[in-house]
């Protein structure tokens, strides 16, 4: 049993070593990013989506429900995203 466990650890170590060097380099890059920039990445992602929603064609965002009533989805989608941006700015 011990041999099996030892060999499992040896295999795991060998595979881990394949990735560890590359992983450590990438981790080093990530660690070098200031936290203000990291938060900016989150906010930039939301802003990109806001831009995408604004640019969507009208027939994609204004639709007729089964009841026959028209519904405009763009303002609601923008409300969701903008509120979230505000939350990320606060926390």
Partner 1 sequence: MVLGGIDYFIIIFYLIGTVLLGIYIGRKMKSGQDYFLAGRSLPWWAIGMSLVVTDIGATDMVGIAGAAYLYGIVLGNYDWLGSVPVMVVGAFLFIPMFWRSKVSTIPEWLGARYNDSVRTISAVIWGVVTAFGLGVTLYATALMFNLLLDLNPKVIVVTESQEVRKKVVVATAAGKTHDFIFLQEGDPIQSVIDSKDPNLVLVDLKWKGSVTSKNPISLFHVDEVNANWGQTMMDKARPPTWTLMYSIIIMSILIGTYTLFGGLKAVVYTDVLQCVVMLGGSLFVLFFGIYKLGGIGEFVAIIQSLGDRAENHFELVLPVDTATPHPWSGIFLGLGLVLANAYWFGNQNMVQRTLGAKSEADAKASYVFGSILKILIPFAMVIPGIIALAHNPNITDADKAMATLVKDILPTGLLGIFFAAFLAGLMSSVDSALNSGATIWTKDVYQKFVKPDATDEHLLEVGRWITAAMLGIAIFFAQFAARFESIYDLSQTILSFFQGPSLAIIVLGMLWKRATGKAALISLLSGVMFAGTLMWVNSNASVPLFKVSEPFLYVAWWSFVLSVVIIIIVSLMTPPEPESKLKGLVYRYE
* Cβ closest to partner 1, residue 25 vs residue 73: 73
* Cβ closest to partner 1, residue 25 vs residue 60: 60
For the chain, the distance separating the N- and C-terminal CA atoms, rounded to the nearest angstrom, is: 51
Q: Binding string to partner 1 for residues 32 to 71, with x set by CB under 8 A, is what?
A: -x-x--xx-xx--xx--x---x--x---xx-xxxx----x
Helix (H) or strand (E) holding 59: helix 58-61
Q: Taking a C-beta distance cutoff of 8 angstroms, is the pair 80, 74 a contact?
A: no
Residue holding tokens 């030892």?
A: 6
Minimum CB separation of residue 57 from partner 1 in Å reads: 10
């Amino acid at each position: 049993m011990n041999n099996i466990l030892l060999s499992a650890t040896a295999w795991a170590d060998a595979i881990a070593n394949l990735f560890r060097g590359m992983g450590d380099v990438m981790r080093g890059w990530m660690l070098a990013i200031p936290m203000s920039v990291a938060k900016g990445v989150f906010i930039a992602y939301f802003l990109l989506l806001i831009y995408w929603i604004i640019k969507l064609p009208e027939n994609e965002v204004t639709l007729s429900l089964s009841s026959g009533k028209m519904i405009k989805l763009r303002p609601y989608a923008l409300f969701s995203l903008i509120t979230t941006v505000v939350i990320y700015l606060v926390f």
